[in-house]
Structure 1
Amino acid sequence: MSDTETDFEEQPPEALPLDAWHREHGARMVPFAGYEMPIQYTGEHGGIVAEHNWTRQSASLFDVSHMGQLSVSGEGAANQLEKLLPSGIANLAEGKMRYSLLLTEAGGIIDDLIVTNTGAHLALVVNGACKWDDIAHLREHLDDDITLTHFDDFALLALQGPKAVDVLEGIVPGVSELSFMTAGLFKFGEQHIWVSRAGYTGEDGFEISVHSNYVRALADALVADERVHPAGLGARDSLRLEAGLPLYGHDLSENTDPVSAGLGFALSKARREAGGYFGHAACLVRLEDGGCAQHRVGLTLEGRQPGREGAQIFSGDALVGIVTSGGFSPTLGHPIAMGFVETEFTAEGTKLDIEVRGKRLPATVTALPFVPHRYHRKGA
């Protein structure tokens, strides 16, 4: 799952359960989504590019404890969630995960999230900066006999990279049996932890929910392996951009709908026909031919200068779109971006320009993801 920065000037940022641990490991901390978060680390293996590249070749440990960990339980909980989410929840098998969206009646995206059927309840992981609004939205619209729980005493770690499975299997036996978008309950020592084979880097990896009292011991055990180094928000952002994954608050917002954002897969085919969820009518219109005025696309730039969020996109003299995420790709060696472009300019190979500081930078519409995903899918 993904997250976003927002304005928390009214109150000082909170400390993560691993705040002292990050500082001991040389983290540079910045305010993000209401928390002090590590953006990168110092030392031999530190820096955004070094952390990015290490994730691609080995395994990196990210702290994503700012995300909201929720559960929905009670008789009919799945059917209740289907009022708010466009995905099939009632047919979600135990141990399976599904990407979904909280939508407004107009089809705007309130948040994107992951739903997991744990057996005992339905677990939701929501974006850090949105979690309090999400909780309020859920409490307002779920029936009174449905229990909504916020696990604010749990941390969330993401171990990402091609060597993540071997590292984690060494200390949490059995996790290698998981495939992409599956999850289960395991033991780390005497403690129960919830492990999901998922992440937001495009690499194989895991997200691990662990009680805050035991997260330091788990983090220590993971970085004790020479194949693992800590990584911060900077590398997580460049990795998710290369993977073509949208970031809420940047590529997604209440002014963005799932169809133009390229998230139509989250609209269950059966539920497109049956409806019954917030935003159904609006999404159905956009699913029809010509229903979207613009679409999210990938853009490859020439040279070294990136097109950042907010930069305007032109076709000749015509303004046809705007960049929502952009930066330099360490893997590809050139700048990349995502943005929303008028539908007639979205064909792969279309030549456009991105205006940066009064200068036009040539850009080409490119298929997403920029770097192929390396998820471990069942049967692969």
Structure 2
Amino acid sequence: MSENDDFEDQPSEKLPLDSWHRNHGARMVPFAGYEMPIQYEGIKAEHDWTRSHASLFDVSHMGQLAVSGEKAAHELEKILPTAVAKLPEGQMRYSLLLTEAGGIIDDLILTNTGSHFALVVNGACKWDDIAHLREHLDDDVTLTHYDDFALLALQGPEAGDVLEALVPGTAKLSFMRAGLFQWNGQHIWVSRAGYTGEDGFEISIHQSHAAALADALAADNLVKPAGLGARDSLRLEAGLPLYGHDLTLDTDPVSAGLGFALAKSRREDGGYIGHAPSMARLEDGGTASRRVGLALEGRLPAREGAKVYSGDALVGTVTSGGFSPTLGHPVAMAFVETERAEPGTQLTIDVRGKRLPARVVPLPFVPHKYVRKGAS
């Protein structure tokens, strides 16, 4: 999703915080089957505030699922390329749902909660993901969709202090760790993660208490609400792929630069859907194309679908692009021919009939600021 995207022209559901967003001046748009806030005071202002303070994002459109039962880990290892059985309690992992051919159905976050395995999947894909899981999970395990829970993301360098003041103990979490906490007499599930490249948290809470939590967070002068526009510009600067744009059924983990999600301990024996083609791509030393970062000159951004050239030869396509408020110039992610994917490679992008100079650069464009275990 980018600022200029065409949004879905279909009836949309309302988020649990729909009235809250409207009362705070949000401009609402249809996205992933919901009416969602794209901005409040402006995308750049919200982007900059997230980089310097803390912003509150509503990501309740995401699918919050649970797989439980004695065989849950075994059954999930038939579907995910993750070492599920070895995942410690409270630990999170980035993972993928794959087709038999190794294409990406969706990317997700998996957490061992102790009582079950939680999966947070993309909002636009969640019903297909649920169908895929139901098809392949054994009847001995239970798949639950927590569709009555909201999900709030507090993101930014001051998010840790803000949340610790409200929910004591959350500051002890490190990046990709999660736990159960109490707030206002309610159980909430808090994970130290997000989609902005900044430090931050995602908080799962029953929808009946979501507005009260949003009010409590926004009451802190360090916190402002932010919408989809800033979330997209932040994730682009962080080099994080978006399903349906940078990742599709035609995309594989190796070419997408997501080989780390194929657990090393499972590469030989496999046993999961898509294992053989994924290993073939790893063992062959690569793929025909790679996801890369591109830095553009000037101020005109390249959007999804723009063609990438080396001289007169078409060598790739932009999958996400926009102007980087932090860097002050346009950036893009694209899939380009592997031999053109080396950092420093000079290319051009066709934007509105003009060939704009672009250079391959390492991802992320803006360094991640996650609070990792052992960090002070």
By the TM > 0.5 criterion, same fold? yes
Quick check: 1:304 aligned with 2:304? no
SS at match of 1:31: strand
Q: Deviation string for 1:157-202 (max 9, x for gaps)?
A: 0000000000001110000000000000001110010000000000
Residue 247 of structure 1 aligns with which residue? Answer: 242
Unaligned runs of 5+ in 2: none
Deviation of 1:87 after TM superposition, in Å, equals 1.1
Quick check: 1:333 aligned with 2:358? no
Residue 259 of structure 1 aligns with which residue? Answer: 254
CA spacing shift, 1:165–1:306, aligned 2, 3 Å: same
SS at match of 1:90: helix
Distance in 2, Cα, partners of 1:55 & 1:6: 22
Equivalent residue letter for 1:27: A
Deviation of 1:270 after TM superposition, in Å, equals 1.2
Equivalent residue letter for 2:262: L
Distance in 2, Cα, partners of 1:9 & 1:345: 34
Distance in 2, Cα, partners of 1:14 & 1:104: 29
What does residue range 37-116 of structure 1 map to in structure 2 within 5 Å? 37-41=36-40, 46-116=41-111
Equivalent residue letter for 1:279: G
SS at match of 1:362: strand
Distance in 2, Cα, partners of 1:37 & 1:97: 27
Residue 22 of structure 2 aligns with which residue? Answer: 23
Root-mean-square deviation (CA), in Å? 1.6
Deviation of 1:145 after TM superposition, in Å, equals 1.3
What does residue range 286-325 of structure 1 map to in structure 2 within 5 Å? 286-325=281-320
Equivalent residue letter for 1:264: G
Deviation of 1:11 after TM superposition, in Å, equals 5.1
SS at match of 2:332: strand
Deviation of 1:7 after TM superposition, in Å, equals 10
Q: Deviation string for 1:315-351 (max 9, x for gaps)?
A: 0000000000000000000000000000000010000
Distance in 1, Cα, partners of 2:182 & 2:264: 37
Residue 363 of structure 1 aligns with which residue? Answer: 358
The count of corresponding residues between Structure 1 and Structure 2 is 374
Deviation of 1:10 after TM superposition, in Å, equals 8.5
| Aligned structure 1 segments of 4 or more residues deviating by more than 3 angstroms | 5-11
Work out the percentage of aligned pairs sharing the same amino acid: 77
Equivalent position to 1:281, from 255, 262, 276: 276
SS at match of 1:339: strand
C-alpha contact 1:8 1:34 (8 A) present in aligned 2: no
Quick check: 1:206 aligned with 2:201? yes
SS at match of 1:299: strand
TM-score, with normalisation over the residues of structure 2? Answer: 0.97
CA spacing shift, 1:9–1:345, aligned 2, 3 Å: closer
C-alpha contact 1:351 1:365 (8 A) present in aligned 2: yes
C-alpha contact 2:9 2:30 (8 A) present in aligned 1: no
Moved more, 11-20 or 121-130: 11-20
Distance in 1, Cα, partners of 2:143 & 2:235: 30
Distance in 1, Cα, partners of 2:57 & 2:9: 27
SS at match of 1:283: helix
SS at match of 1:75: coil
Q: Deviation string for 1:300-323 (max 9, x for gaps)?
A: 000000110000000000000000
Distance in 2, Cα, partners of 1:305 & 1:231: 24
CA spacing shift, 1:53–1:8, aligned 2, 3 Å: closer
Distance in 2, Cα, partners of 1:126 & 1:6: 21
C-alpha contact 1:300 1:365 (8 A) present in aligned 2: yes
TM-score, with normalisation over the residues of structure 1? Answer: 0.96
Q: Deviation string for 1:114-166 (max 9, x for gaps)?
A: 00000010000000000000000000000011100000000000000000000
C-alpha contact 1:184 1:194 (8 A) present in aligned 2: yes
C-alpha contact 1:185 1:195 (8 A) present in aligned 2: yes
